[in-house]
Structure formats: C-alpha cells, structure tokens
Amino acid sequence: MQEVSTDVLIVGAGGAGMYAAISAARQDASVLLLDKSLIGRGGATIMAQMTVAAALGQEEPDDCATHLKDTLEAGRGLCNEELSALLCFGGPERILEMQEWGTRWARAGERVRQEIAPGHSRKRCCYVDFLNTGPAVAATLRRKVSELAAIRRLSNIAVVDLVIKDGRAIGAVGLDLADGEFVVCHAKAIILAAGGLTKLYERNSASSNMGGEAYALALWAGAELIDMEFVQFFPIGHLAPRLVGMDPIMWDPFRYKLGGKLLNGDFVEFVDRYGAVDFGKYTATRDIAAYAILKEVEAGRGTPHGGAYLDFRHIPETQLRAAFGPVIDRLLTNGIDLTKTPVEVGPTAHYHMGGIRVNARMETCIQGLYAAGEAVGGANGANRLSGNAITEAFVFGARAGACAGEQVKTFSRNEDRKLAQVALDRIASLPPRSSKRGVAPIALQAELQNLMWEKAGPFRTGEKLSEAERQIREMLEQELSGLEIAGDGAFNMDLQDWFELRAMLTTAEAVVTSALSREESRGAHQREDYPNVDPLYLKNQVVTLKNGALISSWANPVRLCAGLPTRD
C-alpha cells in the first residue's frame, strides 16, 4: 500500500485550497495539498477573469455591513447569515493580504479601483484587469504556497473516497492519474476544497474538473449537503463563434456598461415581452434575461446555436475600445469584430450556491472534516452576487485552514492501516473489469450532462425532474458497473472518467432530488409548475445519504443573532 501522512490534508488546490494550505501552515501544521490537476492550475479560480467583491470603500464610501445586506438580499432569505457575514467582513482583509503577497489590483493613483456590479449597491468589485484577475490571484497563491516548507504539494491525484473511523475523518484514498495506482493519505483533519459542480450540465462555464466530487465525497463520508437545488445559470454565457482562451461569461459587464442589445434569431429585440424594461436600457435582471432567451428558443426563434444574439453594433468603435480595453483585441484574434457581427449567447451553468453544510468554523458534522470555497453551501442562499465567489474562496479557505490547523494540535494521529487497506481494496474493486467492448465512461458523462441540461436546467418541472431522477438511478445502479475501461496504466482517461462519473451521478442525484422537493420558484431555482415564491419554503433543504438512498429534510436558515462580526 502506497501511503503518505500529514496533519491537514487539503483536497483541491484552487483559491480556497491554496489559502487553506497557507493558513494551516501558519498554525504549524504539516499540510498535504492535493489536486487532480496541477496545483493552482485546475478548477474555476484560474479561469475567473472578472472581479472580486470586497467592501474596501476605496472608490466610494462602503462598509462590510452594506455588503452583507446586499448579499442577504440576493440570497432571497436562505443565506446562512453567519457564513455570509464571515464572507463580507473577511473580504477586505484577504484582498489587502493578497496585495501584500503580490497581486496587483488595478489602481487609480493610491486607490484600488472598484466597479459596480449587478446587485451591489456600491462600487465594490476589484480586479487586476478584465482578462487576468483569476490567473493573477492563482499565481500569487501558488507562489506563497511554494514559499512554505510545511506544505507538500501533489498534483495529478484525484481523491475518490474518504476514510472515516468512529465518526472522524482520518484519511483519503486517491487515484494517482500518472500511473493509475491508488495512494492512501493518512491525516488528522481533511479540508474539502474541490470546487463546484457545473460540469454536470451540458452547457457550462466550467473547467474539465468541476464535476462536483467534493459533494459526493462529503455525502459518502456521512456529512450533510444543503440547498443543492440552487445552481446559478448565467444568462448570457458565450455560445458562438468559438472563443479560445477567454472567459465564457465575460459579456455581462460590457452589456450593462454599454447597453448591448439582446436579439432573437430573427434579429428582433424580445426581452421586454417577458416583463422587463430592457429596450434602450438593457438592464433586465439575470433571471428574466435567461427566461426570455430560453422561451424564444423554445418558440423556434433562437439563434443557430440555441440562444440569442448579443449585439454591440450600435455603439461607436471608440466607445467599444474604451470599454473593452485589451479584450477587444483578444476578441479580434478569435475572429470576432464587434463592430460588424453580434455574438451568440445563452444561459449556462456557472456556479453552485448549495453545497457541503458547515458551521462557522467550516467544519462538517463529521469530526475533522472541513470544507472551503465553492464546495461550501449556504453563504449565498438562493442566488449569488457577482464577485462574491472568489472572496468566498479566499475567506473560507483561510478560515478552514486556520480552524483545522488549530484543531489538529489536540488530535493524536489516528492512522489505521487496516481500515485504510479495506477502503483501498473496496475502491480498487469498484471499476468494471470486463474485457467486452462497451460504452466508455465519457459517453455516459455526456448523457448525464445532456439529461441535467434538459430536465434539471434553468427552468424545471416536477415531471422533468422525476424523469431525471429515474434515469440517474438507472445509470447509477445498472449502467455504471457495465462501462468499458480500456487498458490500464499511466493517464488512463477511462479510469479517471469512471471515478469522476461515479461522483457526478451521486451529486446530480442530490441536485435533482432537492429540486424536486422544493415546490416553489426562488432565486436560481425556477419551477414552471410552481412559479411563485412560497413562504412555507423559507427553509434550507438538507440532504444526507442513508443506506445508499438520499434523504432530504428541512431546517431554518441560520440567522445572525450574535451581532455583526468585526473586521479581523
């Protein structure tokens, strides 16, 4: 058995995982930072090109309490207010710390520049530039991580299961993608920072490794998930022409700033027919824009790639250049000349508000098991403000690392080689070994993505969700074990895809089951058969796994009764 040992094991090295590693190392803990991709180069953080929200108040007067108020409003009553407060009050310190560590936030003289974004009542969103915010913060964190001797980094390890003993997390089993062998990691505490789930959907803004594995790992370990029905669909994700090396959700700020027109496939403006005043103003909210686009497509008035046109041709080139900055030349290298042609856009799965249920120390109900970043549910309730996600990754990462690092001081090492061997043998026996030719795991992944888009996408009905639930169970119970894994050895994509698919199916089922139970429309969860907000559902939905079946129950949202935190 190949083994490694550490105090704190961190699964996923995006913004949250790297911040957690730095923070745990500051507590003198030894840290093992694992990622199925390369450290600091997989997942969403490095892809984000836009902005990070924090009440620095450098552009205009602002404070953390106002940021919190805006966040709670966007969350439609379902935020875990303690977590939201941690996010908003912890943001400024993290942004300034990142600056100290080398992130060059865009400045106007002495001030950090901050922009307004939909849902924020102040100019609060900072950025490096509109192409490099994510890459820049990821580079800062990678550098900082590499300076700390207590942090050991392992790339190309996909964690496929956790080892739990007497209700306490004591290790994990990883698949080493480089040689196709398993490795056991013994740890006193584990932080799940493996990001979101948007790869579950056919149309997504995700990287290839956002299949929702953190949620499945948490469920299998006995932890709880919360509000899994709240997947955020970004209304104007890029569809066509093909865009290489650019953020597929880049259009939003430009649309608001410049007044990009949304046109249907007949080149006619249509959003006003769906209850928004958009003509001439272009300010329809994200949910109305998404609904209007999908309804036009349904009525046969979509664009060739199934969306709407976003048109800037009415804006003079000088104004376009001033607003888009370097982005306009990058678009030209992609063959997109905004003065001549509109682009095609449409709703795309972008972020997950739900996730692993944690307390204010980022700890799950399993002792020693923590979560951080997008993997955590609750801080953004039923809808997230733009810019809050990277702040969440930094703040929750720092907090999870600090709390886990502190807790392991009181934990003795709890390595159980026998139990680890049992876990390893079980995992190794799971992938099908049949030599007969069959369906490859990636083909079933594509089927699942299509199913999720069609039946559990931006607009849902009970009928569609029930059908999705039935098909997912069939995939889990029958098809998963009959897939073909061709060959073995180094970088066996079939084996990786198979383990990823196994987690994707569990997570997809949690999303669908939760969406089916919430018989109302609120925030990002829109049911065409229950189009209104129902006060009876002013509750969080909690999902657990018992004997292989998902159980859902309801809980009152955590309210801030201890008063507002101070900036720490």
Examine residue 47 and tell whether it contacts ligand FAD (CB under 6 A).
yes
Element (H, E) at 437: none
**Residues 143-172 within binding reach of ligand FAD (CB under 6 A):** 158-159
Candidates 29, 32, 48, 349; binder of ligand FAD (CB under 6 A) is 48
CB of 79 to ligand FAD, least distance (A): 16
DSSP 8-state code for residue 214: H
Question: How many angstroms separate the CA atoms of 375 and 212, rounded?
Answer: 8
Question: How many angstroms separate the CA atoms of 196 and 182, rounded?
Answer: 24
Residue 7 contacts residue 30 (beta carbons within 8 Å) = yes
Nearest C-alpha neighbor of 215 from the set 344, 321, 369: 369
Q: Which of 51, 114 has the CB closer to ligand FAD?
A: 51
**Residues 349-388 within binding reach of ligand FAD (CB under 6 A):** 351, 373-375, 387-388
Residue 305 contacts residue 346 (beta carbons within 8 Å) = yes
Candidates 23, 45, 156, 506; binder of ligand FAD (CB under 6 A) is 45
Candidates 15, 265, 302, 431; binder of ligand FAD (CB under 6 A) is 15
For 127-157, give the DSSP string. -S-TTTHHHHHHHHHHHHHHH-TTEEEE-SE
Residue range at the interface with ligand FAD (CB under 6 A); choices 36-44, 183-191, 219-227, 445-453: 36-44
Residue range at the interface with ligand FAD (CB under 6 A); choices 46-54, 100-108, 330-338, 356-364: 46-54
Q: Which of 53, 543 has the CB closer to ligand FAD?
A: 53
Q: Greatest CA separation found in the chain?
A: 70
Nearest C-alpha neighbor of 321 from the set 338, 309, 336, 302: 338
Candidates 51, 71, 264, 540; binder of ligand FAD (CB under 6 A) is 51
Contact code string over 73-102 relative to ligand FAD, x by CB under 6 A:
------------------------------
CB of 183 to ligand FAD, least distance (A): 12
Contact code string over 173-212 relative to ligand FAD, x by CB under 6 A:
--------------------xxx---------xx--xx--
What number of chain residues touch ligand FAD (CB under 6 A)? 42
Question: How many angstroms separate the CA atoms of 391 and 192, rounded?
Answer: 17
Q: Which residues contact 44 (CB under 8 A, 6 or more apart)?
A: 14, 134, 195, 196, 206, 207, 210, 374, 389
Question: How many angstroms separate the CA atoms of 98 and 562, rounded?
Answer: 29
Q: Which of 210, 276 has the CB closer to ligand FAD?
A: 210
Q: Which of 234, 270 has the CB closer to ligand FAD?
A: 234
Contact code string over 219-258 relative to ligand FAD, x by CB under 6 A:
----------------------------xxx---------
List Cα–Cα distances, 18 to 46, 89, 119, 369, in angstroms. 12, 20, 28, 17
The residue written with tokens 């998404």 in the block is 290
The residues pairing with 157 across neighbouring beta strands, listed in sequence order, are 176
Contact residues toward ligand FAD (CB under 6 A) are 11-17, 34-37, 42-45, 47-48, 50-52, 158-159, 193-195, 205-206, 209-210, 213, 247-249, 351, 373-375, 387-390, 393
